[in-house]
């Protein structure tokens, strides 16, 4: 979900949830629901589709896997059991995942889309970002980046300052969200914005990359 609606679960009836009020509209295909109560436990690790994807990767010699909602060692072990040479990125998206992060034998990602919704208080996301970077200085930060560019040509003030904050914290690898990536123009606008902010951030070391006849200076790993 995007966090714009919240409801209280009163009871569980088989595969149905009895809600106190709402949601105010019917959820559409592909929309997610975050159940943030710490008592929630999901049975199993991988779906049949997950296993099929991993089997296809093994046949094709692919190894890089981003694994969502990593919260304990068995989450990583389930993938490595099917793809032993997997290069894993553990997406940290919950409080339980934050607690596990120091023990995760994988590169970390601060997956802010769900992480922001799963934390007890909204401002705890800043502490979470610092915590993950302390554990993994090469951690990736993803989602809720340049979202305004998905809907308009000019970025919002919030997006500009958000990128500056992430760079100042020490993040050097940023991953855009789905909505921004639906159009080529919005992707290029987001990359240009990150580039411009990085140039004005003293802590960011710039490198030079040549493309054809053009030479561009860009932030390392961004």
Q: What is the pLDDT of residue 205?
A: 65
| pLDDT tens digit sequence for 46-100 | 999 999 999 999 999 999 999 999 999 999 999 999 999 999 999 999 999 999 9
Pairwise CA distance, residues 94 & 97, whole Å: 5
- 51-200 — its CATH code? 3.20.20.60
Beta strands at 107-111 and 140-142: parallel, antiparallel or unpaired? parallel
| Residue of 169, 151, 163, 146 lying closest to 198 (CA atoms) | 163
User: Tens digits of per-residue pLDDT, 8-54?
Assistant: 888 888 888 788 877 777 777 777 777 787 777 777 789 999 999 99
To the nearest 10 degrees (0 to 180), the angle between helices 124-135 and 157-169 is 40
Angle at alpha carbon of residue 57, lines to 56 and 60, rounded to 5°:
90
- Under 8 Å between Cβ of 132 and 92: yes
Give residue-wise pLDDT tens across range 134-173: 999 999 999 999 999 999 999 999 999 999 999 999 999 9
Contact 100, 130 (CB under 8 A): no
């Amino acid at each position: 979900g995007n966090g714009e609606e919240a409801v209280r679960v009163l009871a569980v009836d088989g595969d149905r949830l009895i809600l106190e009020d709402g949601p105010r509209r019917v959820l559409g295909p592909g929309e997610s629901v975050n159940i943030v109560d710490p008592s929630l436990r999901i049975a199993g690790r991988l779906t049949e589709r997950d296993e099929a994807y991993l089997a296809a990767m093994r046949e094709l010699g692919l190894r890089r896997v981003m694994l969502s909602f990593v919260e304990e060692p068995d989450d990583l072990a389930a993938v490595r059991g099917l793809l032993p040479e997997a290069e894993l990125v553990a997406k940290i998206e919950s409080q339980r995942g934050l607690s596990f992060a120091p023990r995760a034998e994988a590169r970390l990602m601060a997956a802010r889309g769900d992480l922001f919704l799963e934390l007890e208080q909204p401002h705890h996301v800043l502490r979470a970002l610092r915590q993950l970077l302390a554990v993994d200085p090469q951690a990736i930060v993803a989602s809720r980046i340049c979202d305004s560019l998905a809907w308009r040509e000019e970025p919002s003030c919030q997006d500009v300052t958000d990128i500056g904050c992430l760079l100042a914290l020490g993040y050097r690898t940023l991953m855009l969200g789905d909505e921004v990536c639906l159009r080529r123009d919005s992707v290029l606008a987001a990359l240009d914005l990150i580039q411009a902010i990085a140039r004005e951030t003293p802590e960011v070391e710039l490198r030079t990359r040549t493309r054809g006849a053009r030479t561009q200076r860009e932030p390392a790993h961004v």
